Amino acid sequence: DLPLTVIAGPCQLETLDHALMIAKTMLGACQAAGAGYVFKASYDKANRTSLKGRRGIGMEEGLRMLEEVRNRFGCPVLTDIHDIDQARAAGAVVDIIQIPAFLSRQTDLLLAAGETGAVVNIKKGQFLAPWDMPNVADKVASTGNDRILLTERGASFGYNTLVADMRSLPIMARTGWPIIMDATHSVQQPGGQGGSSGGQREFAPVMARAAASIGVAGVFIETHQDPDNAPSDGPNMVYLDQMPALVASLMRFDELAKSDPVMG
């Protein structure tokens, strides 16, 4: 089994300098710890709780920034798409196209993402069971694309709350696709602040560690140097300056987990 991959970056793209700064910090942290690294950022937040939430810089400019991050550092880059038309443009630039959880049942979006030939990371819908995901992955696989990732990011648990069911990791792993744990969205409190989502950033390292210990292929962690002033998802993003220690810690659990498999 390969060492843990860390998919990390800001919730949304802000400026090129900002993206480069975060990518550089994260890449350094991951290389130092022996982890794989994928830069993640969104060019559009298409499903904000309210209209007042900031949307992002847009696809065209966003894809240019992502390309620049990859050119500069050589690390793969990931972004999420929101409709079919974006698939081709994004697929031409990024290494990994991500399907947002709310859209994880939209057949045409899954097919369009698959057809790009990029890796497709599907976030499990908050309304789906882990055993629903093989049908979802099959939609992508039907295009002939066999580079699929499945991500746990929490299931609806009453109102404005998610719960991450650790059983979903081994259940989804039965598909054979690599499994990712989204440690920051699974501690989100959707809509929990009225006009925006709340979150419990302090538990993201707990979720990441639990998943690494179970032997996941990767963890997904949104990070920012100043989460409380980030344009979105501040309450659940991890402070950037805590990431190097977190990654190093996760790698120790990853190494132990992969020498002693508990999934499958």
DSSP character for 4? P
List 88, 92, 157, 228, residue binding a copy of itself (CB under 8 A): 157
E strand or H helix at 239, and its extent?
strand 238-239
Binding of residue 84 to a copy of itself (CB under 8 A): yes
Binding of residue 32 to a copy of itself (CB under 8 A): no
List 21, 210, 225, 258, residue binding a copy of itself (CB under 8 A): 210
Residue with tokens 């109102």: 159
Binding of residue 90 to a copy of itself (CB under 8 A): no
Per-residue binding string, a copy of itself, 228-257, x by CB under 8 A, is ---------------------x--xx--xx
Binding of residue 258 to a copy of itself (CB under 8 A): no
The distance of closest approach from Cβ of residue 4 to a copy of itself in the complex, given in angstroms and rounded to an integer, is 13
Cα separation of 44 and 41, whole Å?
9
Residue 92 corresponds to which tokens in the numbers above?
């031409």
The distance of closest approach from Cβ of residue 152 to a copy of itself in the complex, given in angstroms and rounded to an integer, is 12
Classify residue 39 as left (phi > 0), alpha (psi -120 to 50) or beta: beta
B/e letters for 26-52, b = 16+ CB within 10 Å, e = fewer, are bbebbeebebbbbbbbbbbbbebbeee
Tell me the C-alpha to C-alpha distance, in Å, between residue 227 and each of 22, 187, 234, 236, 259.
Answer: 13, 15, 4, 8, 35
- Residue numbers at the binding site for a copy of itself (CB under 8 A): 46-51, 55, 82-84, 102-103, 105-108, 125-129, 131-132, 135, 138-139, 142, 155-161, 163-167, 169-170, 187, 190-191, 195, 200, 202-203, 205-207, 209-214, 249, 252-253, 256-257, 260, 262-263
